[in-house]
Amino acid sequence: MSLSFNQKTEIQDVLKKSLRNKFQNYNPEPAAMPFHTRLLGKDRLALFSFIHSLNTNFGTSIFEPVALVLVKNKYQIAKAQAIAGDSISEGAQFEIQKIMDSLMTAEATPNKPREIEIIRKVCQKGKVRKVKLTKVDIFLRNKEGEFFLFDLKSAKPNVGEFKGFKRTLLEWTAAILYSEPKAKINTIVAIPYNPYDPKPYMRWTMRGMLDLNNELKVAEEFWDFLGGKGSYSDLLDCFEKVGIELRLEIDEYFRKFNR
């Protein structure tokens, strides 16, 4: 199932709006780089700076709104930058720490279904702790009540960050289960594209901390999960079409830096 004409149009509108908004509000930080400027030209240096700036908020300004277009009308709840909850039981906090300790010492391997059931058993035991959790980048709940919470990450996350990713996924689980102990929940790290393509993504770097079958979706896996089979390919076509359509506009924008 590929994307509909309306979805493609809406996605292209999201991309155009995001880029044009960036052009209107982008102010390069003043930095004298005389050697780079003379070698490459002001316009190319400005383009480099712009791309770097765009990359820092690509997730919130492009990937998140595009994801919401893909899931429109498919889920009972679909939102970006959502809060999983603000309460976790003391029992759940204790079990999360035990899980983290066992993974970090390699005494156990990641097993998300088992970890969820461990947390479920204590999700309302002990004192209630008020918490401020990492926001959920993409928060979905289907008509059957099943949750899908996605944490969007850069294409090449630092190996040292995986421990934090895992804790976030477990804490989201605990927060949802505190409110709905019987809920079916999925908390997942999503990486929007594979920088090693056509080679496989280097999943082994996450093997000791994430359950690769249940806690990670990369590139096509992620986008096709949201929009159906063929969505990833259609998305790339949408990006290409917008790039071609706005090429003159983009060139003119950067040409002004040489004036």
Structure-token match 């895992």, residue found? 166
Same domain, yes or no, for 212 and 237?
A: no
Same domain, yes or no, for 107 and 181?
A: yes
Residue 137, token pair as written in the block: 């980048």
Collapsed DSSP state (helix, strand, coil) of residue 33: coil
Q: Is residue 66 a part of any domain in this protein?
A: no
Class of residue 241 by CB neighbours under 10 A (exposed 0-12, middle 13-18, buried 19+): middle
Query: According to the model, what pLDDT value does residue 258 have?
Result: 65
The CATH number given to whatever domain includes residue 185 is 3.40.1560
Domain span at residue 48?
Answer: 1-56+231-259
What is the distance between the alpha carbons of residues 178 and 53, in angstroms, rounded to a whole number? Answer: 38
Q: How many CA atoms lie within 13 A of 190 on its CB side?
A: 24
Query: According to the model, what pLDDT value does residue 30 have?
Result: 59
Residue 100, token pair as written in the block: 């983290």
Query: According to the model, what pLDDT value does residue 43 have?
Result: 75
Same domain, yes or no, for 128 and 47?
A: no
Q: Is residue 12 a part of any domain in this protein?
A: yes
Same domain, yes or no, for 89 and 209?
A: yes
What is the distance between the alpha carbons of residues 55 and 49, in angstroms, rounded to a whole number? Answer: 10
Query: According to the model, what pLDDT value does residue 7 have?
Result: 95
Bridge-based pairing state of the strands 147-152 and 136-141: antiparallel
Q: How many Cβ atoms sit within 10 Å of the Cβ of residue 79? A: 15
- Strands of the sheet containing 185-191, edge to edge, are 77-82, 136-141, 147-152, 185-191, 216-218
Q: Is residue 63 a part of any domain in this protein?
A: no
Q: Is residue 243 a part of any domain in this protein?
A: yes
Same domain, yes or no, for 98 and 128?
A: yes
Contacts of 115 (CB under 8 A, 6+ apart): 99, 170, 173, 211
Same domain, yes or no, for 254 and 194?
A: no
What is the distance between the alpha carbons of residues 51 and 38, in angstroms, rounded to a whole number? Answer: 20
Same domain, yes or no, for 119 and 164?
A: yes
* Backbone phi, psi, residue 213, to 5°: -80, -25
Residue 58, token pair as written in the block: 């690509």
Contacts of 86 (CB under 8 A, 6+ apart): 130, 131, 132, 133, 175
Same domain, yes or no, for 259 and 202?
A: no
What is the distance between the alpha carbons of residues 234 and 6, in angstroms, rounded to a whole number? Answer: 12
Low-confidence stretches of the chain (pLDDT < 50) are none
Same domain, yes or no, for 213 and 236?
A: no
Same domain, yes or no, for 205 and 77?
A: yes
Same domain, yes or no, for 122 and 168?
A: yes
Q: Is residue 17 a part of any domain in this protein?
A: yes
Number of domains in the chain: 2
What is the distance between the alpha carbons of residues 41 and 163, in angstroms, rounded to a whole number? Answer: 42
